[in-house]
Amino acid sequence: MQTILSGLCLAALAPAAACSGIQWRACPEGEFNTTVAVQCGTLRVPLDYTQPDSSKTLDLELVKIPAAVQPSRGSIQLNFGGPGQPTRQDAVALGPLLQVLSGGEHDLLAFDPRGTGKTARFVCTADTYYIGQMIAEMRSGDDSDTALRRLWERGRVDGRICQQQGNGNTTAEFIGTAFVARDMMRVAEAVDPDGLLRYWGFSYGTTLGATLAAMFPEKVDKMIIDGVQNPHDYYHSHADFEEWSDMDSSFSTFFTSCISAGPSKCALARLGKTAAALEADVWAYFDTIRARPLAAGTSIFDLLAVKSFAVEQLRSTAFWPEFAELLAALVYSTEAQQRAYLDALMSQLESEKLLGPAAFDGVQSLFGIHCGDRTVRLPAEFGEEAEATFERLRKTSRLIGDNVAHITAHCAQWPWRAKETYMGDFKVKTRRPVLVASNTRDGFTPLRSAMNVSEGLEGSGLLVVNGTGHAVLNTPSVCSFKAIAAYWKNGTLPAPGAVCESAPAFDGYSWANVIEETKAAGLGSPEKRELYRRVLR
């Protein structure tokens, strides 16, 4: 059906506007576990945009959350980051909130980017023996004095496994970010009469957004990129150095916020110590785990695990009270007590499939996409350049630098390159201005990266929230809600230099609070009240 429609459009030489290239239908039973109305559709795109005459194609499976307020003012395409993460399930899960924030007047659209989920998923191996080895050897670089060298060799061996056992020879060149950007333009042309792009991207999705803006500036109607990566680093560096540059200060903020919140809200504050003393205790505990890893659930709780767990808590302050309780319990207890806490914790993570082979799917896709996108490789022999790269990562962040060394080791020796890479400087004037958003303390994507990208995108605005967490979406405030809504409604940009305040961490302030407050302020229409009700439920 889909191909026939596209064929008709082509035959008639109709402008893209005249062709709705997508037949929307009910989504397959049980595909999305949601009460939100969703529709599904398929769009066929070229596998290889550098070969216009090739007949090889790829089917993009799209999910649409139709605008609550009809008629729709056009589609907003979504990407929540990675690379390597499929997008559709997250789009459906976050759809109600994003609809509220965008005023409910736009359809929200998502497809799994190439290399992930349902779209040419990149697979290194399906053999559980090799997957087990890859996972087991994914260690922190400061785990031992041979860890880095071993990671380096692991990178080489995994590249070999991906080549010999995986689908890399038929996928790896075609799953780069530039091709995903072209897919998104195909989608924009197929779904909306104006054929223009509206896009909302987070984290790695901001590199995708910057790439879209740079490759198709005249097609950008509206775009928010939130939690911004430095795209220069993403493509042309041996590691995403800048990305991690506020990780350690964000970690310190956890302790200072705990003391500010006081003993009634933060368990660690009950110990009568200063923030600096608490942080020192936690680092000493990490050292203990490094020397004495513990069996927990059916995993080993080691340096990589304990630091990764801490890193995860810095995405959002929402779970800081629980994190403080866990640290208070772990850091100041006997090994036997720790084993009990950790068994419970790791069993929970395992049951949520956050550990084990299922969690490894995303890592294989990440190698496939990110390593293929990287324009630089290191000499194959572990030498000065590799050591200097790892050293710089370590100096950038004590908390995560050594934990992401394995990505550098893999990408530096990766056997493939994306067939197309955007090689420009990200300096463009888009048709309408882009809104660039960042928190002041984001351990994953610092404010300086948002400023870097904003400087390149002529006329872009900057939404800054004074708060801690990964992306403004993770630091709810009435101020940022109004800024986001005004942008989607009217294209309005925040005043230069304006900063939104966020609620203190440990107060449990959420988007539900924001919605309650803005409702009270009379911002809601009947359709929006229905939207709000859905999010609050």
Ligand X SMILES: *[C@@H]1O[C@H](CO)[C@@H](O)[C@H](O)[C@H]1NC(C)=O
In the complex, which residues of this chain contact ligand X (CB under 6 A)? Answer: 33, 163-164, 169, 230, 232-233, 242, 452, 455, 466, 485-486, 489-490, 492, 499
Q: How far is the CB of 133 from ligand X (least distance, A)?
A: 18
The alpha carbon of 121 is separated from its chain's Cα centroid by a whole number of angstroms, namely 17
C-alpha closest to that of 408 among 237, 246, 206: 237
Q: How far is the CB of 30 from ligand X (least distance, A)?
A: 7
Q: Which is nearer to ligand X, 128 or 490 (CB)?
A: 490
Q: How far is the CB of 92 from ligand X (least distance, A)?
A: 11
Q: How far is the CB of 499 from ligand X (least distance, A)?
A: 5
Q: Which is nearer to ligand X, 174 or 301 (CB)?
A: 174
Q: How far is the CB of 312 from ligand X (least distance, A)?
A: 21
Q: How far is the CB of 195 from ligand X (least distance, A)?
A: 24
Q: What is the DSSP secondary structure assignment for residue 496, as one 8-state letter?
A: T
Cα separation of the two ends of the chain: 38
> For residue 12, with 0-12 CB atoms within 10 Å meaning exposed, 13-18 middle and 19 or more buried, which class applies?
exposed
Taking the C-alpha atoms of residue 421 and residue 527, their distance in angstroms, rounded to an integer, is 43
Strand partners, 119: 116
Q: Which is nearer to ligand X, 33 or 128 (CB)?
A: 33
Give the CB-nearest residue to ligand X: 486
Q: Are 163 and 169 in contact (CB under 8 A)?
A: yes
> For residue 454, with 0-12 CB atoms within 10 Å meaning exposed, 13-18 middle and 19 or more buried, which class applies?
buried
Q: Which is nearer to ligand X, 173 or 192 (CB)?
A: 173
Collapsed DSSP state (helix, strand, coil) of residue 441: strand
Q: Which is nearer to ligand X, 308 or 492 (CB)?
A: 492
Q: How far is the CB of 492 from ligand X (least distance, A)?
A: 6
Q: How far is the CB of 162 from ligand X (least distance, A)?
A: 9
467 phi and psi angles, rounded to 5 deg:
-170, 175
Q: How far is the CB of 191 from ligand X (least distance, A)?
A: 24
Q: Which is nearer to ligand X, 210 or 363 (CB)?
A: 210
Strand order in the sheet with 220-228: 25-26, 39-46, 57-65, 107-111, 75-79, 197-203, 220-228, 435-441, 461-468, 499-501
Taking the C-alpha atoms of residue 257 and residue 352, their distance in angstroms, rounded to an integer, is 29
Taking the C-alpha atoms of residue 535 and residue 537, their distance in angstroms, rounded to an integer, is 5
Q: Which is nearer to ligand X, 307 or 410 (CB)?
A: 410
**Token digits of residue 299:** 């995993």
Q: Are 516 and 533 in contact (CB under 8 A)?
A: no
Taking the C-alpha atoms of residue 308 and residue 314, their distance in angstroms, rounded to an integer, is 10
